[in-house]
Amino acid sequence: MPPLLELKEITKRFGNLEALKNVTLRVDQGQIYGVLGENGAGKSTLMHILAGTVAPTSGDIRFDGRKVIISSPRKAFNLGVGMVYQHFKLVGKHSGLENLALFMAGGWLRGISSGLRQSVTKWTEELDWEIDWQTPVERLSVSQQQRIEIIKALCLGGRLLILDEPTAALTPAQGNALMAAVRRLAQRGITVLLISHKLAEVKNTCDRLLVLRRGRVIREDAARDVSTSDIISAMIGQDVAWPSVNRRSTRGAPVLDLIHEDAKGTANHPANAQAHQLLQANLQVCRGEIVGVCGVEGNGQEALAGLLTGDIAVRGRLTINGEPVGRHDLRHHLRSMGLIPADRQRDGLILTWPLNYNLVLKTHASPPHSKWGILRYRQLRLRNTALVRAFDIRAHSLEVPAAALSGGNQQKLILARELGMEPNFILAMNPTRGLDVGAAAFVMRQMFQARDRGAGIALIHDDLDEVLQMSDRLYILFGGRLYLTPWPQATRDEIGTWMLGENLPQLRSHSHGGGFAAK
């Protein structure tokens, strides 16, 4: 019996850059394959070839033993291939059902057929998921949007499912539930290619592991036969130098003071009220410290970020560098603060612009980049070349559009721009989301270096282990309220319990800048 999918000598070149080099792979039906590698190793390029959005330069693809040419996503769907991208491909103002109807009809919303409803019902029951199919997807949580994307891929494809960093934006509990669903799909004969940087998750879920490095397949093994250290060595070619934890017990003057009280809340959408609501948030960040904020998705993280970036009006007081700041004045301060957004593609970059311009989005009107309103290209290129080297951004030219970079290199591009200004306040939201272990360690080192230079950093992070490793002080967000914890004098289990809303009376939600205190 032939394998479901065979790749033979697949090569892909983008100009002088060889993203894939003679990749050969056999994929059997009903198996889960973990696809691993550094950011820029070629994983996404390989998956895009299977999804029909990128054509290989050379090589053969066989499906069910037949040679095929996957020249478009529609041809991939016809073969049974569906892909769920890390950045969802949903139309926010339409409901989940309308999004499926749009994609099934090639972009035209002609109504929702009974066949589509039956297919949606089948997969929803198969996976034991509850999904709000009627609400516009922009008002749904990340996990709900992802479930819609997965069922869309299954309805369109249904034989080979490609998942690109599926748990990057999920809580640990949501991630575990998704991996359980993936295993159920494999038991029903669906093959899954899983791109992930969470090595423990991959080892616990996958049957086989495929490691790419610089466009080549370095090794392929049964998941049970390879250790985590073996995977890291294959991915990076060396051991990862994780930054040592050097927690700061002293801090300087406040760079940010927030006192926000909103008895009515800021929710406009009852279907997703919790995500938009922030009832109370008193937060202080001082020079020379990293202040972590963590919580289960939907407890006010987006609203807190909105307060600090001017998207939501503060009902109280916001002070930056000792100066009271109004909502409209905050826009001016954004130019001098470091901002690492949660969605790097939507909020952090202009994807069609080259690195050269993305690196100076905030500083193009200031010396030495401009004089009398005219860009000074020589100074711009000199500084940008130094930033690309310092932050290890892998691109063959400063003229490459940001869209052509891997996710990890896009994140490094944002870090280079934001931290290269040496700001005294940095707002970082999930700065390591979707990054491999080497890139994540690099980001952590950069954050520690910025702190040690005297910057105050507010770190809103979904990954509990990373936020604990990086934070000098820690707040919990629960039910739209911000609670100061006694970290680092608390245990990980205690922090996790507070995130779920248990034993919260011992934390004080009104604490401001001081230490932990019992009520």
CA distance 255 to 286: 5
CA distance 485 to 467: 13
Per-residue model confidence as pLDDT tens digits over 89-135: 888 888 988 888 887 766 555 667 777 888 888 888 888 888 888 89
DSSP 260: E
CA distance 36 to 43: 7
Q: Is the peptide bond before 166 cis (omega within 30 degrees of 0)?
A: no
Q: Can you name the CATH fold of 250-337+424-519?
A: Rossmann fold (3.40.50)
- Would you list the DSSP string of 37-91? E-TTSSHHHHHHHHHTSS--SEEEEEETTEEE---SHHHHHHHTEEEE-SS----
- Which CATH architecture is the domain 5-236 placed in? 3-Layer(aba) Sandwich (3.40)
Per-residue model confidence as pLDDT tens digits over 31-54: 999 998 877 788 888 999 999 999
CA distance 38 to 515: 40
Bridge partners of 293, per DSSP, are 460, 475
Q: What is the mean pLDDT of residues 398-418?
A: 88
E strand or H helix at 6: strand 5-14
Can you say how many angstroms the Cα of residue 284 is from the centroid of all Cα atoms in its chain?
A: 26
> Where does the chain hold its CATH 3.40.50.300 domain(s)?
5-236, 250-337+424-519
Per-residue model confidence as pLDDT tens digits over 153-185: 888 767 999 998 888 767 677 788 889 999 999
CA distance 20 to 347: 29
Among 200-204, 248-252, 264-268, the range scoring the smallest mean pLDDT is 264-268
CB 456 within 8 A of CB 425: yes
Is the pLDDT at 199 greater than 70? The verdict is: yes
Taking only Cα atoms into account, the Rg of the chain, rounded to an integer number of angstroms, comes to 24
Which is it for strands 5-14 and 17-27: parallel, antiparallel or unpaired?
Answer: antiparallel
**Angle, CA 169 vertex, CA 481 and CA 267 arms, to 5°:** 35
CA distance 333 to 122: 51
